[in-house]
């Protein structure tokens, strides 16, 4: 047992036996000592992020399982701050000496060294462990999830359902993954918090062809915190929906290029707001001065009918977390209210460098990445119109029912493919269209979202940025965009 007050001369022989089976309160003594070492060396702030992961994915192609991929990993990321500068070091050595080596490396990058001679090195006083996993009985989640044989059986059965509904199917895929993560955060401001996350996703991908006619369609859903999620997946309904959409798009006409009013469906339609606007409200963008909204807080940046949120609270949503990867409890953040920019999305570093308050949005893919400001569940709020009101307002336009892939420039220029679209004439759907691409900029489109219905829907998504790929929710009710450039033929 180390003395309450360490002397720097004792550091070479200092060691702890760190528990290896769980990331819990037994780590307090060793992490308190390491944080004390960092502060004694002159760091303004030190953070340890410990992680264990148990991941598996399963892929069924037609009537065979073609991939079953498990992955186990563990490690720690150490972040050291001095002034507005910081550095990040990661290691997969969770022994006390391994963590100390990572800390000393981070200190040296900032020109800091551990004190020598007879200097006192007091431990940090951490808060009582905030154990979100224990409080919500999450420790049993992993044992309750579907084993590999059950995963395989469910996906093969799902592909058989898809085969019954799909016409001219050339390729049928059903895919599932389960990502279990245990994390422990300890920081020199006293933060000491633990959580377990369980994220799952399952869905179909269908390719159909008939002569020269070809189409591909996919549908994926996701969940957090439900070990029985795969067992309760409604594969029958999902197969019907994917097959129906593919059948309509297989013989669809190509859209004519032009500027149209468009109606965007709820749920995954929100990907455009996420990409074209949400990223521009992250403090990462403010730090690099790559957002047109840099100094617009309190000003109108969108149509007065648009209100938008980012939060981590919605039950079972893909971006829901009890705490972020910096140990801060999650919260609800109002981004835009009636067109007025209210708040930005901020992590610790973003708050230090921009002055915007933290929002519980410090997120990372794994211990190999430093946390950054990232979205969680991000969506346009319900409005005052019905879906019929929105359709009746369009004389000739395009209904974007399902979105495909796309790209967004650093300052909000975007283009997105529409995987399922229909011509709207006098408020009615008249024929399916394919080949549509939406082209625009964030500042333009935000001011043209003039109508929002009341049928808010959320959809699971994946977001890549400076801190890796994280799970997010996108969403919106049905919305109307008064005019946007549509690329086609």
Identify whether residues 282 and 364 lie together within a single domain. Answer: yes
pLDDT of residue 3: 46
Identify whether residues 109 and 144 lie together within a single domain. Answer: no
CB burial string 135-172: b at 16+ within 10 A, e below: eeebeebeeebbeeeebbebbbebbbbbeebbeebeeb
406 in a structural domain? yes
pLDDT of residue 96: 92
Identify whether residues 427 and 287 lie together within a single domain. Answer: yes
User: Among 217, 234, 251, where does a domain finish?
Assistant: 251
- In terms of pTM, does the model score above 0.85? yes
32 in a structural domain? yes
Identify whether residues 233 and 339 lie together within a single domain. Answer: no
Q: Per 3-state DSSP, what percentage of the chain is helix, strand, and coil (rounded to 5)?
A: 25, 40, 35
Identify whether residues 320 and 447 lie together within a single domain. Answer: yes
404 in a structural domain? yes
369 in a structural domain? yes
Identify whether residues 395 and 483 lie together within a single domain. Answer: yes
Question: Quick one: how many helices (H) and strands (E) in the chain?
Answer: 12, 25
192 in a structural domain? no
User: Among 251, 269, 290, where does a domain finish?
Assistant: 251
Tokens (6 digits) for 268: 């995954």
Identify whether residues 320 and 339 lie together within a single domain. Answer: yes
Question: Is residue 249 classed as helix, strand or coil in its secondary structure?
Answer: helix
93 in a structural domain? yes
Instruction: Say how many domains are in the chain.
Output: 3
Identify whether residues 37 and 119 lie together within a single domain. Answer: yes
Identify whether residues 159 and 91 lie together within a single domain. Answer: no
190 in a structural domain? no
Tokens (6 digits) for 150: 């059950």
In which domain, by residue range, is 408 found? 258-487
Instruction: Estimate to the nearest angstrom the gap between the alpha carbon of 306 and the chain centroid.
Output: 22
Identify whether residues 129 and 144 lie together within a single domain. Answer: no
Pairing of strands 396-408, 258-264: parallel
Paired with 175 in beta bridges are 59, 203
In this prediction, the residues of the chain whose per-residue pLDDT falls under 50 are 1-3
Question: Is residue 33 classed as helix, strand or coil in its secondary structure?
Answer: helix
Identify whether residues 281 and 394 lie together within a single domain. Answer: yes
350 in a structural domain? yes
Identify whether residues 322 and 454 lie together within a single domain. Answer: yes
Pairing of strands 308-311, 258-264: unpaired
């Amino acid at each position: 047992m180390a003395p309450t007050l360490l002397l720097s001369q004792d550091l070479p022989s200092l060691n702890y036996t760190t528990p290896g089976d769980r990331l819990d309160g037994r780590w307090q003594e060793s992490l308190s000592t390491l944080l004390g070492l960092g502060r004694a060396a002159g760091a303004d702030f030190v953070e340890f992020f410990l992680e264990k992961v148990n991941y598996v994915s399963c892929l069924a192609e037609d009537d065979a399982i073609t991939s079953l991929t498990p992955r186990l990993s563990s490690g720690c990321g150490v972040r050291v701050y001095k002034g507005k500068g910081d550095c990040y070091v990661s290691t997969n050595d969770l022994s006390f000496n391994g963590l100390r080596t990572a800390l000393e490396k981070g200190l040296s990058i900032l020109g800091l060294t551990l004190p020598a001679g007879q200097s006192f090195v007091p431990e940090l006083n951490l808060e009582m462990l905030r154990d979100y996993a224990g409080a919500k009985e999450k420790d049993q989640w992993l044992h309750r999830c579907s084993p590999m044989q059950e995963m395989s059986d469910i996906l093969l059965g799902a592909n058989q359902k898809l085969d019954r509904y799909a016409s001219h199917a050339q390729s049928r895929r059903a895919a599932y993954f389960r990502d279990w993560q245990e994390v422990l955060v300890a920081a020199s401001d006293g933060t000491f918090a633990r959580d377990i996350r369980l994220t799952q996703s399952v869905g179909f991908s269908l390719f159909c062809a008939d002569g020269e006619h070809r189409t591909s369609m996919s549908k994926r859903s996701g969940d957090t915190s439900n070990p029985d999620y795969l067992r309760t997946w409604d594969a029958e309904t999902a197969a019907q929906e994917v097959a129906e959409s593919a059948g309509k798009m297989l013989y669809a006409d190509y859209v004519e290029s032009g500027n149209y009013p468009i109606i965007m469906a709820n749920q995954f339609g929100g990907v455009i707001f996420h990409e074209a606007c949400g990223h521009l409200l992250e403090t990462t963008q403010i730090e690099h001065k790559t957002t047109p909204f840099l100094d617009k807080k309190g000003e109108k940046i969108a149509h007065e009918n648009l209100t938008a949120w980012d939060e981590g609270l919605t039950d079972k949503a893909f971006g829901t977390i009890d705490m972020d990867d910096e140990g801060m409890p999650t919260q609800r953040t109002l981004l835009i209210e009636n067109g007025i920019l209210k708040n930005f999305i901020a992590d610790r570093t973003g708050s230090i460098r921009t002055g915007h308050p933290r929002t519980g949005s410090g997120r990372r893919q794994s211990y190999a990445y430093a946390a950054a400001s990232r979205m969680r569940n991000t969506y346009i709020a319900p409005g005052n119109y019905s879906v019929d009101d929105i359709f009746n307002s369009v004389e000739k336009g395009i209904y974007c029912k399902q979105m495909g892939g796309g790209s967004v420039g650093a300052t909000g220029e975007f283009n997105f493919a529409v995987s399922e679209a229909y011509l709207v004439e006098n408020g009615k759907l008249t024929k399916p269209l394919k080949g549509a691409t939406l082209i625009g900029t964030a500042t333009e489109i935000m001011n043209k979202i003039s109508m929002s219905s009341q049928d808010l829907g959320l959809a699971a998504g994946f977001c890549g940025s400076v801190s890796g790929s994280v799970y997010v929710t996108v969403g919106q009710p049905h919305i109307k965009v008064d005019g946007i450039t549509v690329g086609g033929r």
